[in-house]
Amino acid sequence: MHAPIFTIWKKVLSIRLAKRCFFFSVFFVLFFQAPSPVYAHRAGKNNSFRSPPTSLSLPSKYGKIIYRYNEQSSKILYIVGISHRDSISRQNGVKTVKTQCEVYKIGKWLNRHRGLNLLLPEGFFDTVTSISSSRPSVGSPLPDDLSLEKSLADNSRFINAEMLLMQHLHMLACQVEDQKLYDAVFDKLAKLEDAYTDPLDHLHLERQITCLQEERTATILQNIPSVIKAEFHKGAITTEKALFTIGLNHIPTILKYLKDDKLHIDNPASPGPSHNTHFADLNLKDKGFGIVIIIPHTLIQDKDVLKATNLIGLI
């Protein structure tokens, strides 16, 4: 018998993580965007859609497009900046449920109107040898707005928009995270809690975390084209399109990379200046991908959230 459709894997269930205080985790979700909770899933595909090469016109009640590039390409990455559950407490924040409802609706709309059937969620780790080899036999009925919000508001279990898209629309999910970098961020966050009373240690760890998060984001972006290509050539998806969901605080970094056409990452071990910065070409552009960045309606309307995530002035 197969494992349950949704399982929460090791990292966020460990005793060590569970003991970290709630205030600490909320602070760093806002300012350092801790990795989203780990989960794993099997999902299937939809073979019936071919999307037209036209510019995306997303319903404004779902979200706002803040960046467009090469939309005429047959290969498109849709990036959605999200508010996810707290990485450590796994509880919903003030904006989480409404934002997750909008993420679900964005995914559903792209599935119906752009043939999207591949999810690349932050914090997803594939524990199945070939996730495209197993599909749910029967999909759940599509929820109405009230049922959707009720499901996502349930703090007694871990559930998010991506999981519901897998369940209801048989979307496929693939891993783009680097396990070592993901673990390194958590390890530094744990040390930061211990160093809270020492200003110098605290500042040094803050810089290391910022650099590690940039490296983590850059690595994910570099991994995406090969993951999409592999699933397309296996026949798991019929269009080279994917929805990449990541914490809103990462969006300014992604915009910086896209604007510069380069990845540039400071060495987290270095206390100093940019001569220790590593540069690399951006695989997404080199491989001819179109890129669309979307911010859910609830987040784009909240100036405090945009300010806290350094998006004011960029959109």
Answer whether residue 274 is part of any domain.
yes
- In this predicted model, what pLDDT tens digit does every residue of 32-44 receive, in sequence order? 456 776 554 444 4
Lowest-pLDDT choice from 118-132, 176-190, 228-242: 118-132
In a domain, 315, yes or no: no
**Letter for the amino acid at 265?**
I
For residue 60, tell me if it sits in a domain: yes
Tokens of 3: 């494992």
What tokens were used for 206?
């803050």
* Residue 243 bridge partners (DSSP): 78, 119
Is residue 49's pLDDT more than 80? Answer: no
- What does the pLDDT read at residue 278? 78
For residue 314, being part of any structural domain is answered with no
CA distance 170 to 138: 9
pLDDT digit string (tens) for 82-123? 986 555 555 556 788 999 999 999 999 999 999 999 999 998
Given this model, what pLDDT does residue 177 score? 95
Q: How confident is the model at residue 230 (pLDDT cuts 50, 70, 90)?
A: very high
User: Which residue type sits at 297?
Assistant: H
- For residue 142, give its domain range: 7-308
Least confident among 136-150, 196-210, 267-281: 267-281
The average pLDDT across 201-230 equals: 92
250, part of any domain? yes
* pLDDT bucket at 31, cuts 50 / 70 / 90: very low
**The model's pTM:** 0.79
Q: Which helix (H) or strand (E) holds 173?
A: strand 172-173
Reduced to 3 states, what is the DSSP secondary structure of residue 258? helix
Is 2 within a domain?
Answer: no
Residue 147 domain-assigned (yes or no): yes
Contacts of 72 (CB under 8 A, 6+ apart): 53, 290
Q: How many domains does the chain fold into?
A: 1
* DSSP state letter for 35: P
Give the residue, 15 or 293, on which the prediction is more confident: 293
Whether 105 is covered by a domain: the verdict is yes
The mean pLDDT value of the chain amounts to 78
